[in-house]
Each structure stands twice: as structure tokens, then as C-alpha cells.
Chain A
Amino acid sequence: MEALSYLKHFKEVAEHEIMHSGHVACPGCGAAIAMRLALKTLGRDTMLIIPACCWAVIDGPFPYSACSVPVYQTAFETASITAGAVRAGLDATGKKGINVVAWAGDGGTFDIGFGQLSACAERNDNIIYVCYDNEAYMNTGIQRSSATPWGAWTSTTPGSDYKKERKKNLLEIMAAHRIPYAASTTVAYPDDLVLKFRKAMSIEGFRLIHIFSPCPPGHKALEKNSILEARYAVESRVFPLYEVEDGTKYTLSMDPPTRPVADYLDLQGRFRHLNKKERSFIQQAVDEEWTRLMHRMRIDEAL
């Protein structure tokens, strides 16, 4: 994938709409854009399994739904296993060509659904697991999750008690399960997102797509800056876009023009309390992670 081609015209995005207006996502919601682009790619032969998360609310109150595909709402920790069960049911009734998609937030993925996620990945259940990651329990009032980055304010890590732990590296954990496909993407690069969904659809087994989705109220950012924030996350290497096939084959999707992490932090109120030293610590950590990722990409060559 040539990096710059994403930036000119988004040729891969389909025109038809599967998601409807009238959903109740906040203005500027990254997760809503993620769902819209994902459904455009997945098509109508898709079943969504949504646990407790923002999207459980966004989809709308009974008896309405924003997604004109079957949506099954399930308990917080059971998105992956329910999806696996739906697939088993489809297989038992001989129905083919249907995308079974678990669509969970970072809380349901990194924390509460983590055990089931690992189990499903280990069994290689034939589903696409999507984690739209807004880096906290946004829907219940911005509580910290294990996806919240170091240094961020949340309502459970307020003031000087800002989060002092690192964000879990989901893609590494899932790659360690040796699942056929794991990829990171974000809403600022629609072509990248679409191509990764397409690739996931072409593969059988457990596939995971990790989407960075800015949340204006939770990140204390301007609504109009959601895409900019996602773009800066990639350009500052806070959220690298790459894919891992069979747990070992790493491909970098985009080698962005480097941007200081400060540009990314400045867009968000949740990092406002950080002093210079703390900000440079984040920069250092990001640089280290990037170097580590670059080394990991080349491991196969060394072997």
C-alpha cells in the first residue's frame, strides 16, 4: 500500500449507505464514522454483535436501529463468544457468505471481554472482531480503561492522579495468539480502513481490527477536530497503522511524515495538565515503541 495514495482521493469508499442518520452518537463521533465506513465495506450480508459500549446506545432506542443489518446486543464480556456462537449457528444451518462481526469498545475488549476474546482467538472462531478504541469508558462517563494512555485525565483518574499506567498493546497480544489477521486503522484514513476490512473479509478464522476513534467529549477535544486528532495520532506515531498476518508477518501500512507528539496532545484537554517533562516522557515512550515495532517488522528477515 503506497502511503500517500490515502491522502488524495478516497477511491475505495462505496457510495451506498447502510448506516442511517438519526443515531444518537455525539457530534463529531469517531466511532460513528468507523461504523459507517465499515458497513459500507462489509455490505448488507453482515451480522453485528454489539456488547455494552457506546454503540449499544448510538444504535438507537427500541424499536429503532441505525444499522440496517441484524444487530444482536449482548452482555459486556460476551461480544466475541456470542459472535462465535452466531457463526456456529449459521454453519449448522448451512448459511454461507455472511460476515459475523463483533463490534466492541475498548472497555469490552481490553478489560471486560478480554478473557472471552482470548478464548475465541485461541479457538480461531471464524469472526471479525472490531474494537473501536476511544481510550476510556466514554458512554458511562469517561472512566479509565486499560486502553487509556499514560498521562490521560479520566473521571476516575482526575487531577494529579492522572493515569500512570501504559496502554495495553492489543495488537501485540492478539498477534501472540497467532490469529490469521490483526490490523490497526483509524477514521482519518478511510481508504486504509476500507482496504483492511476488505482484506479481513477475504480471510477465514479470527480476524481483529483495532480502530482508533476520537471521542470529542471524552478526549476534551473540539468536535471538528476528530479527524485531525486521528491523523495526528498516526503522524506522531502514537497509533501506528500496521497489520499482522498469522501473528508473525508484520506490514506497516503507512510511514507517516513525523510529527511531534505535542501536536497530538495539544488537541486534547485530557492531556492539558501534563508538564514539559511528562510530555517529553510520552514522546520518548512513543519513539521507543516505534523503534520496537520497526525491529519486530524485520524479525522475519532475520530468521
Chain B
Amino acid sequence: MAQKPIIYKSWREMPLMTASMGDTTINKTGSWRNVEPHHVEQVPPCSFRCPAGNDVVSFVTLAAEGRLEDAWRVLAQTTPFPGTCGRVCPHPCETECNRAQFGEAINIHSIERYIGDLFRDNPPELKRPPYTGKHIAVIGSGPAGLSCAYQLKMMGNAVTVFEAHSKPGGMLRVGIPDYRLPPDVLDGEIRRIVDMGVEILTDHRVGVDVSFQKLMDKFDAVFVAVGFTNSRPLGAEGDDGDDVIPGIEVLRRINLGMKDGVGDKPLVVGGGNTAMDVARSLLRNGRDVSVIYRRTRHEMPAITEEIEELIEEGIEITFLATPVEVIRENGRMTGVKCIRMKLGEPDDSGRRRPVPIEGSEYIIKADCVVTAIGETTDLTFLPDEILAKTSWNIPADELGRTLFSKMYAGGDVADGAGTVTAAIGYGRRAAIAIDASLRGEAIPENAAVSPSLRDRTGYVVPFEEINLAYFEELPRLEPVPLEIEPRIKTYDEVRQGFSEEDLTREARRCFSCGTCPACDNCFIFCPDVAVIKVKDDPDKFYIVDTEYCKGCGLCAAECPRSCIVMKSVR
């Protein structure tokens, strides 16, 4: 309540001495300012970089407060696979984390993994809108397909997923070894999707068991997420024998509990995640495995930690060499003739192109070659008129829309991004586009980011705007991995998770860039009592009293995390 003016008509009305009769709120000092503070929520770099669009800061800060169920709900908005992503994602969020420049990056993936695991077997109820009457077919039960199915179901649609293999999960199932992603984690997270009412038909290969055209006719929309299924050929002389096996085929056999069909001394060719996974799996199967890669470690596309763990486990990588000929005696492979390479000019990917050094051929002993030099798609299930409009992939925009109405595509089959998280994000964006189009509504802007981040300014908070006076330089907590000796004999998970204590300690290190946790700095440092705390509003903690704010900017300067911006007064 502002003070009313006190007016004395003559000296007789005045008190005997010059005593105050009211307070200074009569004086509207807000007229002094030319800039004014605005409390805003800005984009943290972790969320900005997350291909799945996760609201990282929110779930990390909720975890820091011990509100783990709320943290899980934040994750559930954007991903059905927190436990899986927390294990297999190359976590670009941590690369971008502003904490990396003060202490070390927050261990985001371990926090996500903990939250995912905690609620895997009894997930909290989520509110869903009523059934829309629409039924969508999803081809492929990999991360893109299941993410799309999950989101569509959350929006009230019916979904049927067609899976060619005997178990759902796509590459998560058949491409990632158990020591990175234990099957019970994947089973649990898929079970949740099934329990929500998504129908998954395994052993249904589209193009064989059911035609693509039939799906297009029967369903309201079709989302194609078949991923990468074929290995690229080795391209060396004699690479057409049974002893030259595609890496993803070996992984598929191992993951589905079959014999791997590999000799005693396999040579794995390639430097990507498949090469790492297949080499380490074969090591666990007791093989004398080695890896050959045509460039150097610097150019290897595999996740850094995977390369480090592979080297730790004692697998040798030969750099700057590539096979040119498979040598066989009496029909049995005895070795592989390789040629040494040197790095030349950068190619399209920006990496330096390997060039063979003439006359440098030499022989590596091996009885089997496993190829992991890249994967590609198999689109032969598509009808001819659609196939004619595709290249190695199905061209689709970032919302999964293709050239054909009702047909959407996403994940590796569309962008070849090659990570689980990118596929999850693609599936979710496509689900938003499909649902909006079936409802006849406009697709929301910023579909790529978590719904809880949509209202933010587009500004990504840089490190320079963090006020370091309010943070301590603390090291990152990292769970200790399994000892090397026991782990290379089994498929037990190599990396361990956090304890609850470590989880809270690590989460508390978060700067929470651009996200106001109500630290009260703006309230405490305001010289004009013009920052007012708001009670009972979950979205807003403070308002600026514009009648009195003089625009000094102390609140913005002392905000630890760039949640206040100063704007000119119009």
C-alpha cells in the first residue's frame, strides 16, 4: 500500500516538531530509470545441445533438491529411455556444460541414468488426453520408432509398431552390447511403453509379412524408422567369403543369444561405435581380437569413452592402415594384406582423407574379418514409386515429413545421425507433426525442445555470464567402473551408476544456467526494495516493482546465472 500524500494547509496543522507522519512510498522513484530488469528464463547450453531436447537443468536441479519423481516427470516429457540414454548417449550436453570451465562438466548422464533406473519398474502415472480415434503405424522399434510411438500415445493416439526381429528395441537391442546396456534396462523401458498401450508386433517384417502399401491404406499415418540395417562392403579383394562378416550382424547374433560365427583371431575394420562394440564383445567371447582403422585416433568417430575403455581392455588398434586383400590358403583365411596410409587433404566430413602409401603393403594374421566401416539403409520394402524418390535415405524434414502425405520418416533412415539420442529427438518431433496434422492443428514452434523450455528466450547462456562468486570450484564425481580383469570375461555392465549421495552432490554443482532456482540474490541486493517475492506461483518467483525500481542493474549483475536482463524503458 503506497503512502497517501500528506498535505498541511497551514503551519497550525503541522506537528510541533518536524516528525515523520508517513513513509517514502509516496515518492515514485521508478520515474528515475531508463533501463529496467526483467526476470527471464534463458536456454542452458546443455539443453540447447541435447538432440532429444531434454530439459537438462530442470531434472538436474530437481535431483539436487531430492525431488526425484518430479525430475523423472521432466525427463518423461521428452524421452521414454532415460536409463538407456544415461548409458549410451555420447552426452553432447556435458561437452557444452558451462561448468566445464570452472571445475568440470556436470556428470549429467549418470544423473539421468539414476533417475531412469529408479522409476523403471514402477513408473509414476502420467496424465494423457482422451483417445483421439487415430491409429498410427510405426515401422521399426528402435529408439526413433519407440520414441515416436511413446509420444503419439501420450497425445492420445493408438499406435502399432512393426518389428522385424523377435525382440523389440532395434539397434538398442541388437546393436549395443549388454556390457554397455544391460537387457533388463532396455526391457524395463520398453515394457513401460507397452504398458501404456502401444502395440508392438515382433517378427513382422514390413515388405515380407505385411506390405507397406497395406499399412498406408489401413492406418492414419505411417512413421518409417527402420534405421541402418546393412553394413557397407569392405571393398578389398576377396571380401565375398563367409569369413568376412558385417559387424552389425555379429552384434545381432551375440545380442540375440546366437553363436557369433567368428573365428579365433578376428580383425575388426573400422573406427566407429560398431567397431568398438564388436571388438569388445568378441574379446568377451574369448577371441584374440584386434582393430584396424585407416585414419588416426583423432579422427575416430566412436565415443571417446568407448575408445578409452577398449584400449584399457588391451585391444590393439592399428592406425593408418586398411585391408586391400584377404589371403586364403586351401579356402581358409590365413591373413589380411593391408596397406599403410597417410593423411591428406580434408574431405567432406572435415576429417583428413587417408591416402595409401604405395609399396607399403604388409600382412596381418587373421582368420576372419569383421567389417564395421559404416552402415547403410535397406529400403527395398518400399513400393517402387516411393523408392524412386529416395537415395541412401528417405528424405524428410526435421519434423519427419516426407514427399508423401501420411508417410513420415525419422531416425537414421532419414538423417543417419547415428546416435540413440538424435533418433529419440527425431521420433518425438515427428510425433508432434503427425499428431498436429491428424488433429488439423498448427505444429507448435520450437517442437525440437522440451515443452518446459518452449517459453524461454532463444538466448543460450555463455560461460561469461555466470557470476562465479556464487559457486565453488568442485571436481566432477565419476562412478568407478568395473575392474578390467573381471569385466573382459563377462557381459557385466562396465560403467557403474551413482549412489544417492553422489547424485545429490553432483547435481548441486549445476550452475542452472538461465533457470531461476529462487536464490534470492536479486531480492537481497535491491537497494530500493523493488524486487518482490511472489508466493504461490510455481512459474514466477519474483516481480519487479516498476513504481520504485531505479534501474541500477544490481540484480542483473548479481544474478548468478543470467536470469535477469536489463532492457531499455520505452
> Which residues of B (15-43) have their CB < 8 Å from a CB of A?
15, 18-29, 32-33
Chain B 524-549: CB-based contact to A (< 8 A → 1; otherwise 0): 11111110010000000000010110
Do B24 and A20 touch across chains, with their CB atoms under 8 A apart? yes
Do A64 and B18 touch across chains, with their CB atoms under 8 A apart? no
Shortest CB-to-CB span from A213 to chain B, Å, is 10
Do A32 and B556 touch across chains, with their CB atoms under 8 A apart? no
Complex-state Cα separation, A22 to B527, whole angstroms: 10
Residues of A within 8 A of B27 (CB): 22-24, 60, 64
Do A27 and B551 touch across chains, with their CB atoms under 8 A apart? yes
A21 and B22 in contact, given A8-B470, A27-B32, A223-B553 (Cβ under 8 angstroms): no
Do B24 and A33 touch across chains, with their CB atoms under 8 A apart? no
Question: A235's closest neighbor in chain B, by CB?
Answer: B469
Complex-state Cα separation, A65 to B3, whole angstroms: 11
Complex-state Cα separation, A53 to B472, whole angstroms: 38
Chain A 209-240: CB-based contact to B (< 8 A → 1; otherwise 0): 00000001000001111111001000000000
Tell me whether chain A's interface is mostly helix, strand or loop, or mixed. loop
Interface flag for B388 (CB, 8 Å): no
Question: Which size bracket describes the interface of B in this complex?
Answer: 35 or more
Complex-state Cα separation, A9 to B21, whole angstroms: 37
Do B527 and A36 touch across chains, with their CB atoms under 8 A apart? yes
Shortest CB-to-CB span from A247 to chain B, Å, is 32
Do B26 and A23 touch across chains, with their CB atoms under 8 A apart? no
Interface flag for A252 (CB, 8 Å): no
Shortest CB-to-CB span from B315 to chain A, Å, is 45
A20 and B529 in contact, given A63-B18, A223-B552 (Cβ under 8 angstroms): yes
Tell me whether chain B's interface is mostly helix, strand or loop, or mixed. loop
Q: Give the size of the chain A interface in residues (CB under 8 angstroms).
A: 44
Shortest CB-to-CB span from B547 to chain A, Å, is 7
Question: A60's closest neighbor in chain B, by CB?
Answer: B24
Residues of B within 8 A of A23 (CB): 24, 27, 29, 528
Complex-state Cα separation, A60 to B22, whole angstroms: 10
Residues of B within 8 A of A7 (CB): 469-472
Complex-state Cα separation, A62 to B21, whole angstroms: 8
Complex-state Cα separation, A37 to B519, whole angstroms: 16
Residues of B within 8 A of A33 (CB): 525-527
Question: B566's closest neighbor in chain A, by CB?
Answer: A224
Interface flag for A254 (CB, 8 Å): no
Complex-state Cα separation, A25 to B550, whole angstroms: 10
Residues of B within 8 A of A231 (CB): 469
Complex-state Cα separation, A60 to B18, whole angstroms: 12
A228 and B520 in contact, given A17-B529, A27-B32, A64-B27 (Cβ under 8 angstroms): no
Shortest CB-to-CB span from A201 to chain B, Å, is 20
Shortest CB-to-CB span from B13 to chain A, Å, is 11
Do A227 and B528 touch across chains, with their CB atoms under 8 A apart? no
Question: A17's closest neighbor in chain B, by CB?
Answer: B529
Complex-state Cα separation, A44 to B51, whole angstroms: 55
Inter-chain contact total with CB atoms closer than 8 Å: 130
Complex-state Cα separation, A216 to B6, whole angstroms: 32
Complex-state Cα separation, A9 to B6, whole angstroms: 40
Complex-state Cα separation, A4 to B473, whole angstroms: 11
Question: A71's closest neighbor in chain B, by CB?
Answer: B20
Do A32 and B557 touch across chains, with their CB atoms under 8 A apart? no
Question: A30's closest neighbor in chain B, by CB?
Answer: B527
Complex-state Cα separation, A237 to B462, whole angstroms: 30
Shortest CB-to-CB span from B17 to chain A, Å, is 10
Residues of A within 8 A of B29 (CB): 21-24
Interface flag for B554 (CB, 8 Å): yes
A21 and B554 in contact, given A64-B6, A71-B20, A227-B525 (Cβ under 8 angstroms): no
A62 and B528 in contact, given A8-B470, A227-B554, A228-B557 (Cβ under 8 angstroms): no
A22 and B548 in contact, given A66-B24, A227-B558 (Cβ under 8 angstroms): yes
Residues of B within 8 A of A223 (CB): 552-554
Residues of A within 8 A of B545 (CB): 21
Interface flag for A301 (CB, 8 Å): no
Interface flag for A15 (CB, 8 Å): yes
Interface flag for A29 (CB, 8 Å): yes
Residues of A within 8 A of B14 (CB): 63
Residues of A within 8 A of B472 (CB): 4, 7-8
Do B520 and A63 touch across chains, with their CB atoms under 8 A apart? no
A27 and B33 in contact, given A33-B527, A65-B20 (Cβ under 8 angstroms): yes
Do B556 and A10 touch across chains, with their CB atoms under 8 A apart? no
Do B23 and A66 touch across chains, with their CB atoms under 8 A apart? yes
Complex-state Cα separation, A45 to B501, whole angstroms: 44
Give the contacting residue for B23; candidates A22, A26, A224; CB below 8 A: A22
Chain A 25-69: CB-based contact to B (< 8 A → 1; otherwise 0): 111111011001100000000000000000000011011111010
Do B527 and A64 touch across chains, with their CB atoms under 8 A apart? no
Interface flag for A19 (CB, 8 Å): yes
Residues of B within 8 A of A98 (CB): none
Do B26 and A22 touch across chains, with their CB atoms under 8 A apart? yes
Interface flag for A190 (CB, 8 Å): yes
Do B557 and A224 touch across chains, with their CB atoms under 8 A apart? yes
Give the contacting residue for A224; candidates B6, B470, B530, B556; CB below 8 A: B556
Give the contacting residue for B550; candidates A4, A27, A30, A64; CB below 8 A: A27
Residues of A within 8 A of B469 (CB): 7, 231
Shortest CB-to-CB span from B563 to chain A, Å, is 15
Interface flag for A286 (CB, 8 Å): no
A64 and B22 in contact, given A19-B529, A22-B29, A27-B32 (Cβ under 8 angstroms): yes
Give the contacting residue for A22; candidates B15, B28, B553; CB below 8 A: B28
Shortest CB-to-CB span from A230 to chain B, Å, is 10
> Which residues of B (32-60) have their CB < 8 Å from a CB of A?
32-33
Residues of B within 8 A of A13 (CB): 520, 524
Do B25 and A20 touch across chains, with their CB atoms under 8 A apart? yes
Residues of B within 8 A of A59 (CB): 24
Pick the most buried of B15, B25, B472: most chain A CB atoms within 10 A of its CB: B25
A62 and B24 in contact, given A15-B533, A27-B33 (Cβ under 8 angstroms): no
Q: Taking beta carbons and an 8 Å cutoff, which residues of A are in contact with B?
A: 4, 7-10, 13, 15, 17, 19-30, 32-33, 36-37, 59-60, 62-66, 68, 71, 187, 190, 216, 222-228, 231
Nearest first, the 7 closest Cβ-Cβ pairs linking A and B are: A224-B553, A22-B24, A65-B20, A21-B548, A28-B552, A27-B552, A32-B527
Known: A21-B548, A25-B528. 15 other contacts (CB 8 A): A7-B472, A10-B524, A20-B24, A27-B32, A28-B553, A36-B529, A37-B524, A63-B6, A64-B24, A65-B20, A66-B24, A216-B552, A224-B553, A224-B554, A226-B552
Q: Taking beta carbons and an 8 Å cutoff, which residues of B are in contact with A?
A: 3, 6, 8, 14-15, 18-29, 32-33, 469-472, 519-521, 524-530, 533, 545, 547-548, 550-554, 556-558, 566
List 24 A–B pairs whose Cβ atoms lie within 8 Å, in order of A's numbering.
Answer: A4-B472, A9-B520, A15-B533, A20-B24, A20-B25, A21-B24, A21-B25, A24-B24, A25-B527, A25-B528, A32-B528, A33-B525, A63-B14, A63-B15, A63-B18, A64-B3, A64-B6, A66-B23, A223-B552, A223-B553, A224-B552, A228-B557, A228-B558, A231-B469
